[in-house]
Amino acid sequence: MAKVKKAFFCRNCGYESAKWVGKCPSCGEWNTFVEETVQKEPAQPSFTPAGERNRPQPVREIQRQEYTRTDLGNGEMNRVLGGGLVQGSMILLGGEPGIGKSTLSLQLALKAGGIKTLYVSGEESPHQIKMRAERIGIGNDECYIYSETNLENILRQVTDYKPDLVIIDSIQTIHSDSIDSSPGSVSQIRECAALLMKYAKQTNTSVIIIGHITKDGIIAGPKILEHIVDVVLQFEGDNNNIYRILRSIKNRFGATFEIGVFEMRGEGLIEVTNPSEILLSHYDEPLSGIAVGAAVDGARAYLIETQALVSTAAYGTPQRSATGFDSRRLNMLLAVLEKRVGLKMYTKDVFLNFAGGFKISDTGLDMSVVAAILSSYFDRPLNNTTCFAGEIGLSGEIRPAPRSEQRISEAARLGFGRIIVSGYLRKSLPKPPKGIEIVYINKIEELARTLFGSGE
């Protein structure tokens, strides 16, 4: 009887070692090695027709192939994928528990007209999926539900049914009989994903796999899982808020700067084609501490409401709290205000929030953050037809925000009469759109004077 061989694998990158080590030599992470049983794997099945052989070809003789994209019936998903689903591609969809990964996947299977889909679930029974499908709305008669965790049985069914799209929910629940380890282990995830990729490429079938994420927010399993697939999508959002963002991290068939915005409702995920409408509030009377910033996430421009509250610190140490914004950058902007404008921020509590619960990393919103803080500091409301776009440096200079033209166009489209930007854009910007005034400033001191006529 053959001796059972065991090895240690890194949970983060999949590096294999004959013995346990504290620090992974490949990725540098600590305490990530787990012991797994290794056995010789049988030859992987081939899905290509008999007689076809793969041969080396000179690069000049390779025929250029135009990728065929399929409309999924979801505009936001098509946008993130670069125009639709590419046949034969493999997509990895990750996100927090309860964020809506299964809902979005089932919605694609039910709403994609004319696409034969096989939805494989290793976490739910067909009756549970049926309940969600009735809530979403059944529209595709060629959507088949299959509850199974064994990879060999799944491949047997997809070979018989020959679907156009296969959805695996989730890859951490799938296991292969050829690997003697539990589902979700490094070996199982790596080998199951590799075999699904082989099936997708050889049969020109699209595959979407759902992946769990760890407490650190990264996709669970070896890092090689993200290298195997063609597209990596991250579903972001807060369970306490109704809005979700679908972000492309990797895309071999398109750009990675597109995002999709959804609203979670009882009937499923609803597309938000104009995020500015949900991120701007309308008030009966002007309020202090509110400024509108022109933001860009990827290639999409939108306006978002910035809310700030500045109050006297009741205790010795002032509080600094930022929701959806980097707290370290907030401290930097407060230090610039104290140094360049002369505000006594060391005696003030500062609270910052963005409408809709969005997490913002765009430095072009620095000016709107500072404007909201100034408005709350002096308790004077800002003009509700003015918006801001600019980055602030440590010396107090206003730098141009990326894609400033796109921000200005979005502000003009939504009816804003004035936008304040960096003075360095004075020569580079083309003729502004009709109906909007562009105000150029170079330093943060000018912002205070522009808003209130005085920086004191």
Which tokens go with 226? 């993200």
Which tokens go with 414? 């939504």
How far is it, in rounded angstroms, from Cα 54 to Cα 57? 9
Q: How far apart are the first and last CA of the chain?
A: 86
Task: Check whether 221 is labelled as a binding-site residue.
Answer: no
Task: Check whether 5 is labelled as a binding-site residue.
Answer: no
Between the alpha carbon of residue 296 and those of residues 135, 287, 305, 328, 409, the distances in Å are 34, 25, 13, 21, 12
**Which of 315, 308, 377 is closest to 344 using CA atoms?**
377
Task: Check whether 271 is labelled as a binding-site residue.
Answer: no
- Residue 238 makes CB contacts below 8 A (sequence gap 6+) with 357
Q: What is the 3-state secondary structure (H, E, C) of 221-288?
A: CCCHHHHHCCEEEEEEECCCCCEEEEEEEEECCCCCCCEEEEEEECCEEEECCCHHHHHCCCCCCCCC
Task: Check whether 420 is labelled as a binding-site residue.
Answer: no
Total Cβ atoms within 10 A of residue 359? 13
Which tokens go with 53? 């052989």
Strand 268-271, strand 259-265: pairing: antiparallel
- Residue 371 makes CB contacts below 8 A (sequence gap 6+) with 291, 306, 382, 388, 420, 447, 451
Asked if 131 and 269 touch (Cβ cutoff 8 Å), the reply is no
Which residues belong to the annotated binding site?
95-102
Which residues belong to the annotated binding site for ATP?
95-102
